[in-house]
Amino acid sequence: MSQPTVFVSAPVPDDLLEELAREFDVVAVPPGTTQDLGRYGSPVGWLMGGGTPIDAGVLAQLPDLKVVSNSGVGYDSLVMDDIRAAGVIAANTPGVLDNAVAEIALGLVLSLGRGIVGFDRFTRDGRWADGAAPLTRDVHGKTVGVLGMGRIGKRVAQLLQPLGVSVIYHNRARRPEIDESGLAQWREREAFFAESDFVVVLVPLSPQTRGYVGAADLARMQPTAYLINLARGAVVDTPALVEAIRSGQIAGAGLDVFDVEPLPLDDELQTLPNVILLPHIGSATAETRRAMSELAVRNLRNGSLGQPVETPIP
C-alpha cells in the first residue's frame, strides 16, 4: 500500500528520517523551493527550516497538506493568515533551543564588553608589540536590557545572574511575575534604551516588528553601549544601526542574524571593526539541533496523521 508523502526541507538526522520512512514517503525538497511543487508529489506534511516562505500561492499547490512543521522557533517565513485560511496546522520548536541561544547572548555580552574577539585580532595582527591592549570596562555592575522577554529572554536573564549585572526588560506589556521574581525589571521603552549597557534583541519578526529598533531608540543608547541581535535582522533598522556605530552614538554590536543571510561579503557591516558577526548560530549545537529535529518530526508525524501537534503556533 502506498504511504502518504511528506516533504522535508531541513537537515534531519538519518535515524529520524528512517523512522519517518516507516509511515511516510519522505521526499527531500530543496530549502526555499516554492514553485512547481507538484513535481515532488502531494504531501500531507512539510518539515522545513527558516526561510521557506509559505503563503497562499504555495498552499494552493498542495491540496492535501495538513501540517507545516517549522524546525525553529521563529516562524516569520510562514504567512499565518494564509495557513489558517487553508485549514493547515503550523507548528514550531519553542523551548528546546532556549539554552543554546541564551549561551550566545551571554558570550556576546562578555565578548563585546571585554573585547575578546577584537583582542584576538589585536594579538594576531602583532599590535601587542606596540604596547599593551587598551582598557575595556567591567561587565559586572552594568545593566543588560532584554528586548522581548519570553522563554529565551528569561534564560538569558538567569545565565546573567552570576555576572553581577542588573537585568531590565521591555515588552509592550509588563510581565509582573518576572518583576516579582527579581530576575529582571520592566522599563518603558525610552528608559530601557537609555539605561542598558547591552541591549539584547529577542523580539520575533512579524509585520508589526519589522524595523522595530530604529534610529530613535539607538539615539537614546549610551556611547559605551552595545546592541546584540539574536532575533531576526529585520527587527532592527540596519542602516540606522550602521550609522549609530559609525558615528560613535553606540559602541558596537554583536549580530547573529541579518537582513540577508548568508551576510554578503560586501555588506557594510563587514567593514565595522567593533561589530561581532556570527553566522546565525544561536541554536546551532549538535544537542539542540537534535532536540529541534525530534520535536519537528513529532509535529510533522502527528499533524500528518491528523493528531494534535505538541507545539502548535497559536
Q: Is 261 a catalytic residue?
A: yes
Per-residue exposure over 115-135, b if at least 16 CB sit within 10 Å of its own CB, e if not: bebbbeeeeeeeeeeeeeeee
Query: Does position 282 bind ligand 8YV by CB under 6 A?
Result: yes
Which residues is 277 bridged to in the sheet?
A: 255
Comparison of 46 and 193: residue with beta carbon closer to ligand 8YV: 46
5/77 with CB nearer ligand 8YV: 77
Binding-site string for ligand 8YV from residue 1 to residue 20, where x marks contact by CB under 6 A and - marks none: ---------x----------
Cα 87 from Cα 60, distance rounded (Å): 12
For Cα atoms 11, 302, 79, give the angle at the middle one, nearest 5 degrees: 65
Q: Which residue is nearest to ligand 8YV (CB)?
A: 72
Set 243, 261, 268, 310: catalytic member = 261
Of 121-129, 164-172, 194-202, 279-287, the window that binds ligand 8YV (rule: CB under 6 A) is 279-287
Give the whole-angstrom CA distance, residue 205 versus residue 234.
7
**Looking at this protein, which amino acid is placed at residue 93?**
T
Q: What's the rounded Cα separation, in Å, for the pair 168 and 76?
A: 26
> Out of 9, 196, 209, 283, which residue is the one contacting ligand 8YV (CB under 6 A)?
283
Q: Does the CA dihedral 34-40-43-48 come out positive or negative?
A: negative
Interface residue with ligand 8YV among 151, 175, 280, 290 (CB under 6 A) is 280
Catalytic site residue 280?
yes
Q: How far apart are CA 268 and CA 84, in angstroms?
A: 39
Q: Considering the complex, what minimum distance in angstroms separates the CB of residue 72 from ligand 8YV?
A: 2
Q: Map residues 48-87 to x or -, x wherever contact with ligand 8YV holds by CB under 6 A.
A: -xx--------------------xxxx-------------
The set of cell numbers assigned to 169 is: 526588560
User: Least distance from C-beta 152 to ligand 8YV, angstroms?
Assistant: 9
H/E stretch holding 186 reads strand 185-186
DSSP assigned state of 168: E
CB 267 within 8 A of CB 258: yes
Residue found by looking up cell 522577554 in the block? 149
By beta-carbon proximity to ligand 8YV, the closer residue of 43 and 50 is: 50
User: Which of 103, 280, 294, 310 does the annotation list as catalytic?
Assistant: 280
Nearer to ligand 8YV, 106 or 245 (CB): 106
Q: Whole-angstrom Cα distance, residue 312 to residue 178? A: 24
Q: Does 97 bind ligand 8YV (CB under 6 A)?
A: yes
Based on the residue annotation, tell me whether 151 is a catalytic residue of this protein: no
Catalytic residue among 170, 187, 220, 232: 232
Asked if 233 touches ligand 8YV (CB under 6 A), the answer is: no
Catalytic site positions: 232, 261, 280
| Residues that bind ligand 8YV in the complex, under the rule CB under 6 A | 10, 49-50, 71-74, 97, 280, 282-283
